[in-house]
């Protein structure tokens, strides 16, 4: 086993998401400042997730909206933080 020092970067900045480009830039700059043999490695890195489009280009949204319209239900669309929108369904 080699000698190694690891740092949890999400803790340094108080919980920055791993798909945030600025934390990667900061980490790469730190490594450059330290010198050769130091690198940034993500144990878990997520790709950015794009929001679901609510319009005619989304066939699932169109089907859902048409059905709720037929049932005389008025929809109110909102942007909710992670894991909160499912509480209101």
Angle at 63 between CA 60 and CA 67, to 5 degrees: 140
Secondary structure (DSSP) of 51-78: PPP-STT-HHHHHHHHHHHHTT------
Can you give the pLDDT at residue 14? 54
Angle at 29 between CA 44 and CA 39, to 5 degrees: 50
Can you give the pLDDT at residue 80? 65
Q: pTM for this structure?
A: 0.41
Angle at 62 between CA 61 and CA 66, to 5 degrees: 115
Can you give the pLDDT at residue 88? 56
Tens-digit pLDDT string for the chain (89 aa): 567 666 665 555 555 555 566 777 888 888 889 888 888 777 666 676 777 888 899 999 999 999 999 998 788 887 766 655 555 55
């Amino acid at each position: 086993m080699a000698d190694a020092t690891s740092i949890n970067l999400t803790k340094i900045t108080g919980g920055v998401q791993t798909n945030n480009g600025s934390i990667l830039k900061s980490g790469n700059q730190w490594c450059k400042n330290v010198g050769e043999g130091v690198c940034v490695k993500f144990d878990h890195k997520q790709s950015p997730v794009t929001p679901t489009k609510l319009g005619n280009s989304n066939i699932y949204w169109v089907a859902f909206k048409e059905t709720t319209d037929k049932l005389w239900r008025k929809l109110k669309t909102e942007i909710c933080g992670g894991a909160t929108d499912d509480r209101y369904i």
